[in-house]
């Protein structure tokens, strides 16, 4: 393993091109797509979270034309490169000879990431695994619109789309400015039916990656501003008496967007590499894995660990415990490999000599606390 230096030169950061915010703003999708349909003939690819497959109330609001493609994205587990490649093949085979006017992703972070990946692959060619890493996407993807139905992952604002590669045991994203959505529709109405536990887990994703950014050695004033504002909104939501009130759902949707924007100007820290290990080896969903990891992070984020426990108690959230009990040596070795590969966030948190801290023994010890 080679310890690395983080890029600390001037950043030419890219944010989402345009966004619409407000209760009921989903209805603006039709007019946004109309401008593209009027300028050229072709198809719009709707990638909708499988959670909504039988939700007629939502589906009837989508401006899907007869020649468009409506595809439900499987969210039973985190996106894999194999799944994205199969989905791409299906889309290409059913739209052959037609121009792709737009890709619309509607759902949680996994669905939004799949939409971003498909957009990139439709113009860049190749397979999903070819672009896992930093700035490997060479040309802009198909015009892409993100409509989050879950708040916290920041996928709607970030420059990456994360996938698990089962072949090499790595969880990495297409981290590129071309991955950023061109248009967002932020409608707090769409988070009204989120189960309470999931709402908490995903909200903590924003809080955690902003905490990691602010505690890291690589800092950026704009990133700090995004992170501080997002953390403040999260505190208003999770310190309140009703975290899912109408006003709090609006606040958390804004916090999610700001948190995703923060990460475009910074790096995460210790939590996310360990969370990635849990997702790759034990198939824990990302946001839940973050929360499980946070329960072992007191040595690295003592003050934040205490606040996290307060959020859990106030909102009566029950986290799974002992998820790593009874694992084999081979599984702990796999957890170590899936964690330590994330050099940039570990360098941000622990410095260029992070490998002397994150030995196999230390990593296993931390997983055993979870």
* Cα 183 from Cα 19, distance rounded (Å): 5
Task: Determine the pLDDT at residue 7.
Answer: 59
Task: Determine the pLDDT at residue 8.
Answer: 52
To the nearest 10°, report the CA torsion of 59, 29, 150, 61: -20
Task: Determine the pLDDT at residue 14.
Answer: 85
* Cα 147 from Cα 20, distance rounded (Å): 10
Contacts of 361 (CB under 8 A, 6+ apart): none
* Cα 233 from Cα 222, distance rounded (Å): 17
CA-CA-CA-CA torsion sign (332, 333, 337, 340) = positive
Pairing of strands 144-148, 183-186: parallel
To the nearest 10°, report the CA torsion of 296, 301, 262, 276: -20
CA-CA-CA-CA torsion sign (104, 24, 180, 17) = positive
Residues 182, 149 contacting (CB under 8 angstroms): no
To the nearest 10°, report the CA torsion of 330, 333, 334, 335: 120
DSSP for 213-269 reads: HHHSS---HHHHHHHHHHHHHHHHHHTSS-TTSHHHHHHHHHHHHHHHHHHTTS---
Task: Determine the pLDDT at residue 1.
Answer: 41
Say what the pTM is.
0.93
Neighbouring C-alpha atoms within 13 Å toward the C-beta of 301 = 27
Ramachandran region, residue 351 (left: φ > 0; alpha: ψ -120 to 50; beta: rest): left
* Cα 262 from Cα 223, distance rounded (Å): 4
Task: Determine the pLDDT at residue 3.
Answer: 46
What are the extents of the domains in the chain? 18-191, 196-368
User: Which CATH code, of 3.20.20.70, 3.30.565.10, 3.40.50.1970, 3.90.1170.50, is assigned to 18-191?
Assistant: 3.40.50.1970
* Cα 345 from Cα 269, distance rounded (Å): 5
Task: Determine the pLDDT at residue 298.
Answer: 98
Task: Determine the pLDDT at residue 169.
Answer: 85
Pairing of strands 144-148, 133-134: unpaired
To the nearest 10°, report the CA torsion of 19, 252, 321, 297: 90
DSSP for 50-114 reads: GGGTT-HHHHTTS---TTSEEEEEP-SS--BHHHHHHHHHHHHHHSTTS-EEEEEEEESHHHHHH
Contacts of 231 (CB under 8 A, 6+ apart): 207, 210, 211, 214, 255
Q: What is the CATH number of domain 196-368?
A: 1.20.1090.10
Task: Determine the pLDDT at residue 13.
Answer: 80
Pairing of strands 170-175, 162-165: antiparallel
* Cα 117 from Cα 122, distance rounded (Å): 9
pLDDT digits (tens), the chain, 370 positions:
444 556 555 567 888 989 999 999 999 999 999 989 987 789 999 999 999 999 999 999 999 999 999 999 998 888 999 999 999 999 999 988 899 999 999 999 999 999 999 999 999 999 999 999 989 999 999 999 999 999 999 999 999 999 999 998 889 999 999 999 999 999 999 999 999 999 999 999 999 999 999 999 988 899 999 999 999 999 999 999 999 999 999 999 999 999 999 988 889 999 999 999 999 999 999 999 999 999 999 999 999 999 999 999 999 999 999 999 999 999 999 999 999 999 999 999 999 999 999 999 999 999 999 9
* Cα 277 from Cα 366, distance rounded (Å): 12
């Amino acid at each position: 393993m080679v310890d690395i230096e983080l890029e600390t030169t001037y950043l030419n950061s890219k944010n989402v091109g345009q966004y619409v915010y407000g209760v009921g703003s989903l209805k603006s999708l039709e007019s946004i797509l109309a401008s593209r349909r009027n300028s050229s003939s072709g198809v719009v690819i709707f990638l909708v979270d499988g959670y909504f497959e039988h939700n007629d109330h939502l589906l009837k609001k989508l401006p899907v034309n007869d020649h468009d493609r409506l595809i439900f994205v499987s969210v039973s587990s985190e996106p894999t490169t194999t799944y994205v490649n199969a989905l791409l093949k299906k889309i290409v085979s059913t739209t052959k000879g037609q121009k792709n006017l737009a890709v619309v992703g509607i759902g949680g972070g996994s669905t939004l990431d799949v939409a971003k990946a498909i957009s990139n692959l439709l113009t860049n060619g190749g397979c999903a695994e070819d672009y896992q890493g930093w700035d490997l996407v060479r040309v802009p993807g198909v015009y892409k619109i993100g409509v989050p139905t879950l708040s916290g992952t920041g996928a709607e604002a970030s420059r990456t789309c994360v996938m698990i590669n089962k072949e090499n045991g790595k969880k990495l994203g297409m981290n590129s400015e071309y991955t950023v959505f061109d248009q967002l529709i932020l409608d707090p109405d769409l988070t009204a039916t989120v189960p309470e536990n999931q709402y908490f887990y995903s909200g903590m994703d924003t809080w955690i990656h902003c905490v990691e950014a602010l505690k890291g050695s690589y800092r950026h004033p704009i990133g700090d501003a995004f992170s501080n504002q997002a953390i403040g909104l999260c505190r208003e939501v999770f310190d309140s008496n009703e975290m899912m009130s109408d006003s709090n759902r609006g606040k958390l949707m804004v916090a999610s967007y700001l948190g995703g924007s923060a990460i475009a100007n910074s790096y995460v820290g210790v939590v996310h590499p360990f969370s990635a290990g849990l997702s790759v080896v034990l198939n824990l969903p990302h946001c839940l894995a973050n929360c499980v990891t946070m329960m072992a992070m007191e040595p690295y984020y003592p003050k934040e660990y205490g606040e996290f426990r307060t959020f859990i108690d106030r909102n009566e959230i029950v986290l799974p415990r002992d998820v790593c009990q009874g694992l084999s040596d081979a599984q702990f070795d796999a957890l170590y490999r899936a964690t330590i590969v994330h050099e940039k966030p570990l360098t941000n948190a622990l410095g260029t000599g992070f490998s002397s801290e994150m030995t196999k023994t230390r990593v296993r010890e931390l997983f055993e606390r979870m």
